[in-house]
Chain A
Amino acid sequence: MKVSVNWLRDYVDLQLPVNELAEQISRTSVEIEGQYQPQGKMKKIVIAKVLSVVPHPDSDHLVITQIDAGQAEPIQIVTGAPNVATGQTVILAKHGAVIGNGVKIKKGKLRGEVSNGMLCALQEIGMDDAIVPQPLEDGIWVFDEEDAKALTPGEDALHVLGLDDYILETGITPNRADMLSMNGTAYEVAAMLDQPVKMPTFTLNEAQALTQDTLTVKADARMAATYAARVIQKVRVKNSPLWLQRRLWNMGIKPVNNVIDAVNYTLLTYGEALHAYDLQSLPAAELHVQMASGDETLVTEDGVSRTAHPGDLLVMSGQEPVMFAGIMGTAKTQVTKATQDVVLEAGIFEAKTVRRTARDQNLHTESSQRLERGVDVDQTLVALDYAAALIAELGQGQVLQDAVVAQVQKLDLPVVTLHLSRLQAVLGSEITTQEVAHIFEQLQFDFEQQGDAFVVTIPSRRWDISIEADLVEEIARIYGYDRLPATLPVGATTPGKLNAKQQLIRASRHVLEGLGLNQAMSYVLTTPEKAQNFKIQLDQAGEPIQLAYPMSQDRQQTRSSLLTGLLDDVAYNVARKQNDVALYEQGRVFSVQPGAVQPIEKEHLAGVMTGAWQTRNWSQTAQDVDFYTVKGLVEQLLTNYNFVDAVRFMATNQRLEMHPGQTADIYVGETLIGMVGQIHPITAKAYKVGKVFGFELDLQAIMDLPKVMDQYEAISRYPAISRDLAILVDTAVTAETLRQALVKAGGKYLKQIDIFDVYTGEHVPGGKKSLAYTLTFVNREQTLTDEIVNTAMDRIETVLRDEFAAEIR
């Protein structure tokens, strides 16, 4: 809420500079989101009187005026203002003035006539259209005659308009709705400064005639805990005096007329939701509150036609709705300059309903905001009387006797006990009984001391306080969080460490970073199409989660794979000419769990690579990523897990988003843990990327698989023997098939099989490929003889010839 420091001075004797006040409020009560003087850097803007107006000889829309700006000689000003007239008291920006938006005013000639400054509208001196009573097209600002009497030409107009005030913008947290009023803010400021506070006083003079003879009211207490009204007759509706307008616009509210302004002023003072109707425009001499059936239509004050939703609270007069209760009235029944008699209503409407209606209608008003968050139930009728007295005073009206009251919410002040020992234990501070007692006095909370305990009666203005912890907070913040010690918990020590799952996740990340992939964090929410992509388990349903009310088409379902997000990342990079991309991501994927409320969340690990793996440099030519680059990384990663069972890569053409000839499912033993391969060109195109390789692994499955715990084996004391073997086989024979055959035929001493060459092309017959192996034999028990190795090689060659029609080269 905007808080005028000048207004605050009515309540509290503020001796400290405004920035210190702001700092105090920040530290003890609510955040100060902004702090400014409306006048900004404006200057040399004065009150002036129009002495004469004559037409401009060379213009049909300009006039030449002589202006009294408190100087010996009148000043000539040429203006295009349509409303300028002799005798007006106006605002003059003199030669050398700075007006709104930092514009400098200099004397000059307008179509040949000297002009020594500029007559201003309020919009031209930095005031927002939303708070200025008249539109800019209407011309310059002219002070009301009544107000003008107190003004002297030449005096500082910025001061007269209140623009030299300081405004503090308080960020009110939901619990501190009491500070949505000047009264509440004043209590708070007085408490923190340890000063007395002066609350507004007023005298209400009532006429003989009774209100109830003019108006009746009715409301169900469940809809409106308090509901009451007054009638003020024979009101002269006109502009409010300057002092009132000034306060309103500094608080961000546009002055309208003296009745509506009085209502708003009271709202700002008390934080209570009031409303004024034009009595003659009401369909009947009664008001009642009822629940909308949903077919009511109201044209509200903002000119918008709105249909009520079933359950909205409406104020009705006769058969017609005249207000969304506590939010906004109808245009037809609002107070205008033609109004004679005013109905003033005060109500505490049910907060939940007001909140829902305001949201549904997108109609958030000063009063709905306060009703939603709560109001001081003790002050509702006081505010009603205050506003009635103010309207009567400003509009010379008569307040009829005794408000009509449907009911008043019972005042039930909670009594909360605070134990000093508890306070000290929670704060970790040695705060004393005297200090606590003094803080309660500052807060103006009534209390009794009973030994260690403070029995506190909570005032109605602090409906946020109901338990001991709330009082702990009250004491702590006024005492000052700065004064609390900074300690560390004492008590039993606890071991802190990552669990096995967290360790595995961290280790996996480190391995992939060491292998050259950068960690990405992508969006979890994606399109329904992408949400289906790259599931590891093809046979399981595992549908993604759909948001009930997504914000955009692009973000409406949860991902089933990390690859979707990573491909979006690649697309983002490629679109920015970053063509060499190697990323990995660790995160969760989601799928509906049949029969369960919550989905399955699985930890995954995935990577993408595109472009050059080795970039061109002085010593190497560029080398593009290919299937084997990615597979090599995955193999290294999987090696680090030390599975008990062997890792297998099985060619698959079943994955629609993957290249049918460059994709492998990855198994450990019989468990499918993921896949690696090239993204299918069609999928790649849909993601707006080129040739991309990727992998996706189910980390949960990896975690669950048995691992080799005892990794060490003594290095053999006997030397190994290596033999090279070159063969020619059909291209269809896979390396994995050959490997299995070699292992089987090689005997127990064959320890390692390395492929050092794969070749097709010249010198190799069509349909054939040449493979070259290094086979390494080791006997850990004794020196291996050539004989034994030769025998093994013979077996291998026989098997290769017999089973694969291999030619040994």
Chain B
Amino acid sequence: MSLADELQKLRENALHEIETATTSVKDLRQAQVGWLGKKGSLTEILRGMKDLTPEERPQIGALANEVRDTLTGAIEDRQKVLEAAELNKQLEQETLDVTLPGRPVQQGQPHVLQQIIDELEDQFIGMGYQVVDGPEVELDKYNFEMMNLPKDHPARDMQDTFYITSEVLMRTQTSPVQARTLEQHDFSQGPLKMISPGRVYRRDTDDATHSHQFHQVEGLVIDRHITMGDLKGILLAVAHELFGADHDIRLRPSYFPFTEPSVEVDISWGPVTKDTKPEDIEWIEVLGAGMVHPNVLKAAGVDPEEFGGFAFGMGPDRFAMLKYGVEDIRNFYLNDVRFLTQFDRKG
């Protein structure tokens, strides 16, 4: 057999083996060494080059190079195929049941009342309000007297009080923060706009709708040109924030010693569109508000002829009960983990 024939034969055999007999990259490597390695078949054949005539040498040389190139190309191609197969096999072996639950991680939830308070705080901060704290163990003077509720005022009966001494009590409302803030505020530095969330206490027996401890968020805005229309606008914004933009509010006359006029604010239970008939709206009482009583301003040393504004008191407990349909206020303070973990929506 001529050298050329041998090369042709080698090419044929090698290609056949590469295409069919190699099933792994390792096999292929061996085959590559066997055919093309230093001690491989091609080298073996080319040893016969020395016996060729000078005319034949370049031809055979060119042929040998061509065979080498063909085989190298075939090996590379085969390698890709085999690698892909091996990877596929590996991936197949690594296949998991992705429907098994993931490894648990711990995450706690904010209390639902905290969520409501935070939401209100954020909204009012956005409107330029300060968030102000006040003591929970309060003086009668701030809780009642400066709020236009002198001793023996019949409206004190509306708020049965935990007294500690005749002058000190567990605050029944967040309103004393109004008096404290008004006393402190320097109106030359601009208007007073504040909210004050916090715990309050009443001498009530705990049941589904009463709690001796609950929360309020007080609001107060005092400036030179504050109107009741502004109050309405703010409360509408709050209603939209908490319950959705398609809800409406209504104001009804009410009585609080520290506001005049005083209103009770109802929010529509369902959405209100321009097609909703007024008699079909179900109104839910959500908060009390009004224009700050001149006596409250005077008691804090603010001139009611020059300054005025509005105040409101919201009940996060009531908001949460309405918003989520919580049927028993005690749920908020008993801290059953099955209750606490339900309010986990973020964003």
Determine the chain A residues whose CB is within 8 A of the CB of B135 once the complex forms: 598, 601
Within 8 A of B (CB), among A25-66: 26-31
Please determine whether B126 and A496 come into contact, CB atoms closer than 8 angstroms.
yes
Please determine whether A31 and B252 come into contact, CB atoms closer than 8 angstroms.
yes
Query: Complex Cα distance A617/B139, Å?
Result: 54
Count of interface residues, chain B, beta-carbon cutoff 8 Å: 88
Please determine whether A488 and B165 come into contact, CB atoms closer than 8 angstroms.
no
Please determine whether B136 and A427 come into contact, CB atoms closer than 8 angstroms.
no
**In the complex where A19-B279, A492-B191, A578-B336 touch, is A469 in contact with B108 (Cβ < 8 A)?**
no
Determine the chain B residues whose CB is within 8 A of the CB of A555 once the complex forms: 212
B315 → A minimal CB distance (Å): 14
Within 8 A of A (CB), among B257-284: 260-264, 279
Please determine whether A588 and B335 come into contact, CB atoms closer than 8 angstroms.
no
B123 → A minimal CB distance (Å): 10
B334 within 8 A of A: yes
Please determine whether A176 and B136 come into contact, CB atoms closer than 8 angstroms.
no
Please determine whether B167 and A597 come into contact, CB atoms closer than 8 angstroms.
yes
Please determine whether A617 and B127 come into contact, CB atoms closer than 8 angstroms.
no
- Per-residue interface assignment for chain A, residues 643 to 673, with 1 indicating a CB less than 8 Å from any chain B CB and 0 otherwise: 0000000000000000000000000000000
Within 8 A of B (CB), among A408-439: 425-429
Please determine whether B106 and A515 come into contact, CB atoms closer than 8 angstroms.
yes
**Interface-located stretch among A196-204, A518-526, A799-807:** A518-526
Closest chain A residue to B304 by CB distance?
A469
A550 within 8 A of B: yes
A398 within 8 A of B: no
B324 → A minimal CB distance (Å): 15
B170 within 8 A of A: yes
B40 within 8 A of A: no
B233 within 8 A of A: yes
Among A19, A429, A551, A584, chain B packs the most CB atoms within 10 A around the CB of A551
Please determine whether A426 and B130 come into contact, CB atoms closer than 8 angstroms.
no
**In the complex where A19-B279, A487-B227 touch, is A597 in contact with B168 (Cβ < 8 A)?**
yes
Determine the chain B residues whose CB is within 8 A of the CB of A499 once the complex forms: 130-131
Q: Which of B162, B228, B335 interacts with A426 by CB under 8 Å?
A: B228
Q: Which of B162, B167, B229 interacts with A427 by CB under 8 Å?
A: B229
B234 within 8 A of A: yes
**Interface-located stretch among B69-77, B81-89, B97-105:** B97-105
Please determine whether B191 and A519 come into contact, CB atoms closer than 8 angstroms.
no
B236 within 8 A of A: yes
Within 8 A of A (CB), among B279-315: 279, 291, 293-294, 308
Please determine whether B253 and A30 come into contact, CB atoms closer than 8 angstroms.
yes
B68 within 8 A of A: no
Q: Which of B105, B128, B165, B264 interacts with A496 by CB under 8 Å?
A: B128
B341 → A minimal CB distance (Å): 6
Within 8 A of A (CB), among B327-343: 332-338, 340-341
Task: Tell me the dominant secondary structure on chain B's binding face.
Answer: mixed
Please determine whether A355 and B154 come into contact, CB atoms closer than 8 angstroms.
yes
Please determine whether B110 and A519 come into contact, CB atoms closer than 8 angstroms.
yes
B30 within 8 A of A: no
Please determine whether B263 and A481 come into contact, CB atoms closer than 8 angstroms.
yes
Please determine whether A489 and B223 come into contact, CB atoms closer than 8 angstroms.
yes
Within 8 A of B (CB), among A203-235: none
A560 → B minimal CB distance (Å): 13
A180 → B minimal CB distance (Å): 12
Query: Complex Cα distance A590/B201, Å?
Result: 15
- Per-residue interface assignment for chain B, residues 164 to 202, with 1 indicating a CB less than 8 Å from any chain A CB and 0 otherwise: 110110100000000000000000001101000001010
Closest chain B residue to A586 by CB distance?
B114
Please determine whether A519 and B340 come into contact, CB atoms closer than 8 angstroms.
yes
Interface size class of A (residues with CB under 8 A): 35 or more
Determine the chain A residues whose CB is within 8 A of the CB of B152 once the complex forms: 352, 355
Determine the chain A residues whose CB is within 8 A of the CB of B193 once the complex forms: 489, 494, 496
B121 within 8 A of A: yes
A549 within 8 A of B: yes
- Per-residue interface assignment for chain A, residues 487 to 504, with 1 indicating a CB less than 8 Å from any chain B CB and 0 otherwise: 111111111111100100
Please determine whether B232 and A615 come into contact, CB atoms closer than 8 angstroms.
no
A504 → B minimal CB distance (Å): 13
A484 within 8 A of B: yes
A485 within 8 A of B: yes
A189 within 8 A of B: no
Determine the chain B residues whose CB is within 8 A of the CB of A520 once the complex forms: 111, 335, 340
Q: Which of A173, A425, A486, A521 interacts with B332 by CB under 8 Å?
A: A521
Please determine whether A472 and B291 come into contact, CB atoms closer than 8 angstroms.
yes
Determine the chain B residues whose CB is within 8 A of the CB of A558 once the complex forms: 137
Determine the chain B residues whose CB is within 8 A of the CB of A581 once the complex forms: 337
Please determine whether A491 and B212 come into contact, CB atoms closer than 8 angstroms.
no
Determine the chain A residues whose CB is within 8 A of the CB of B107 once the complex forms: 513-514, 516
Please determine whether A521 and B163 come into contact, CB atoms closer than 8 angstroms.
no
Query: Complex Cα distance A426/B230, Å?
Result: 10
Q: Which of A176, A372, A486, A524 interacts with B213 by CB under 8 Å?
A: A524
A122 → B minimal CB distance (Å): 32
A103 within 8 A of B: no
Closest chain A residue to B295 by CB distance?
A467
Please determine whether B332 and A482 come into contact, CB atoms closer than 8 angstroms.
no
Determine the chain A residues whose CB is within 8 A of the CB of B190 once the complex forms: 492, 494
Query: Complex Cα distance A547/B263, Å?
Result: 33
B111 → A minimal CB distance (Å): 4
Query: Complex Cα distance A583/B339, Å?
Result: 12
Please determine whether B191 and A582 come into contact, CB atoms closer than 8 angstroms.
no
Please determine whether B103 and A617 come into contact, CB atoms closer than 8 angstroms.
yes
Please determine whether A597 and B213 come into contact, CB atoms closer than 8 angstroms.
no
A175 within 8 A of B: yes
**In the complex where A174-B158, A427-B229 touch, is A518 in contact with B260 (Cβ < 8 A)?**
no
**In the complex where A173-B255, A486-B236, A555-B212 touch, is A518 in contact with B250 (Cβ < 8 A)?**
no
Instruction: List 20 additional A-B contacts (Cβ < 8 Å) besides A467-B260, A558-B137.
Output: A30-B253, A31-B264, A372-B154, A425-B227, A427-B228, A428-B228, A428-B229, A476-B261, A485-B233, A486-B233, A487-B233, A489-B230, A509-B110, A516-B107, A518-B108, A520-B335, A525-B213, A576-B338, A578-B336, A618-B100
What are the 3 closest A-B residue pairs judged by CB atoms, nearest first?
A516-B106, A428-B227, A428-B229
Instruction: Pull 22 A–B residue pairs with CB atoms less than 8 Å apart, ordered by A.
Output: A27-B252, A352-B152, A372-B154, A427-B229, A472-B291, A477-B261, A482-B250, A492-B223, A495-B128, A498-B131, A512-B108, A513-B110, A515-B108, A518-B337, A520-B340, A525-B162, A525-B170, A547-B162, A583-B335, A597-B167, A598-B138, A618-B101
